[in-house]
Structure 1
Amino acid sequence: MVITNRPNKNLKNDIEKLATQSDQIDIATAFFTESDLIKQWSEKNIDINLLVSLRPPTSFYALKKLQSASNVEISFLGDEFHSKFIIFYKGDYIIGAIIGSSNFTSGGLEKNIETNIFTEETKILKGLEKHFDELIENSNLLQPTDLDNYELLYKNWLKRQKKLNAELKKFKTKITENRTKRNKKPRITKIAKQYFVYWRIVDEIRELVKDIAEKEHPNIPSYLILDHFWHYIKVFWHKETDITLTEKNQKKIIPKLFKDYINWHREFEEDNYPNYMSNLSKNVYQVYLSKKNIDKLTESQARQVFKGLHSSNMPIQRFNADDLFIAENGMSRIRKSLKYLIHSNDEMDLKIHNLIKNPEYKLTRLGTSGVQELNGWTKPKKYPIRNDKADDAIRILGYELN
């Protein structure tokens, strides 16, 4: 039987039921903070053997409460001890045991997401009994002086923990607040799901060329430099050589190709295109689409944003797509959709999916490449730019976007 902590039923409920049938309970728990149950059992003449790890967050106060309790023997091990199981006895007979992730803490017994198993299988019970005896044999009996020595350590830990808990809360809020849960997400389109695969591949390539890129362009985000590298790979190198790398040789050859790209850029390109991209990112995307400015985005600014995308160049030249982008969507819708794509806390695959497929966010004239470029332009230290050229380049470099 699997025991989890749910609103109407938790591990504590099951332990209390089993305790009513028991006259001895052996508890192995790395962390211990809840003494009330054991106090109650002690008063009902149930023998308790408690084995803990004597380190925070095991509570000094909880152990202190049990120091004078009858029928309770407390032993301890060091920080290597991480077991969690409870064995219930009636006389010499083992009623059953619970093994799992729960420590003997309020979180473990009632609040946390935990996974525990109740077993009555004889072989497992005998094995646990033997294991508990071996742990006790290698443990130390908790003396009052041990607890006195532990008091200062625990109280100092509590002071540090307050600061850590505040930091953890801030961190959790930052990454999960208003984020759509998986069970609420629609079926994500393939192109949107691929962004994570693409991102992983780009990061692998970035690591291979990191030192060269930083030396050549120390002040330009590496994702922007790689976007220009894709141009070299697809339009020049592959066109001349017709070579496609394989998994066997890509890690050796890519750094060499990147050096060739640097030399090509120095020799044949009059303009410093990575520098141009960096300036465009800083002066247009990071300003107009920032959190404080995006709600005030003007038609002129929206045109600049649209024009800057690689994927918009040809449609603008042939069809005046920048004017149509404004006219067919309207500024209110453009602001809402771009704000969602760039600043919402949803996972990237869902954001891309919604801009491509969801009528609430989809923008006319902004295709899949444009959608996947925008975060890279606006936050180039966090996200890589993805478009058809980038996909082709990484395939030439021997990677698969499955």
Structure 2
Amino acid sequence: MIDFAIPEDLAERRDRIRTFVVEEVLPYETDPRLTQHGPNDALRQELVERAKKAGLLTFQAQRRFGGMEPSHVEQAVLYEAAGWSTLGPVALNCAAPDEGNMFLLSRIANDEQIETFLKPVIDGRHRSVFAMTEPGGAGSDPDQLSTTAVFDGSDYVINGRKWLITGANGAGTWIIMARVESGAHGPGGPTLFLCEGETAGIEIERVMSTMDRNYVEGHGVVVLKDLRIPAANVLGEVGQALRYAQLRLVPARLTHCMRWLGAAERAQAIATEHARARTAFGKPIGEHQGVGFLLADNEIALQQCRLAIWWASWQLDNGAKGRHESSMVKAMVSEELFKVADRCVQVLGGFGVSDDTPVAMIFRDMRAFRLYDGPTEVHKFAIARKVLLRGT
């Protein structure tokens, strides 16, 4: 049976989140602490305190950590509501990369690691990073990983260079991917390591200037120099980082789509209101086909994206690994929502390229979304490979 109805209790949670975002978060969209590099830590902490007071902080966490533990389909509904403002997920502590890192740690980390590295992120006290991407190397192709981790008998000594590390500046929990050489100590391969942000050997070289500004403290270039990490801080098993990365990325691709669907819906609402109020050639511009059709195309795309997200989420809830499904949805949704944002700018005209509304910011951020968690072309490559292997 296919049922698209939203249960009453889920609708109530959705409305609570949307109301919180509208009443508590939207006023911060013009706060000077929302900088070119994204919201700074002071702004984030103030928003987090508001969400905590409302009883909505980290609502997606497992019940053992005090969260609502929503299913993937339920997350689709709730994250869309949170995404109405790009600051909504920041306030609610369900933004990337923290949301994906919390998901991974809750499934891989041992009890001691949970206490040290996960719980402070769930509580909103710490931010976290997933340090994999490297300049000229590991990114969409993590096999090119060049950061090394050498075992010296008790610790791993890590050296390498990372970039586009979201939220690196000021983060408290670090997940670092590095390549371990096999030897007498055991097997090697790409491995995940945990450490705290103040650990000697982590240098934030600079925060990059990028077109998007919705992630806390932007994207950093990081130098890892003789970073010593105890063997007890290996996350999971040595050599299994790529498998764990996929465990993290499959649902994270979908939660990106969920949040950005909310932002695109907001842009559509702003463009629609403008099309009702702005007049040209004797009538509201929305009554001219050239503008009305843009809004109609957006309405179609938003619903297509919503249904695709729900479908892939349902697959995960019913036991699918979801790699193929999430690739299809990420590729389609990122491209379609970018078109939605672009059409909203067009409807708004000169108003749309200014910062007088959040639409210009949503448009810039949506362009970057086409690259987050794998560019469209990489996902299409994986999809095509799956199609060609089908039935063989």
Q: TM-score range by the shorter chain?
A: under 0.3
Q: Flag the structure with larger Rg.
A: 1
State TM-score, norm by structure 1: 0.19
Larger fraction in strand: 2
State TM-score, norm by structure 2: 0.19
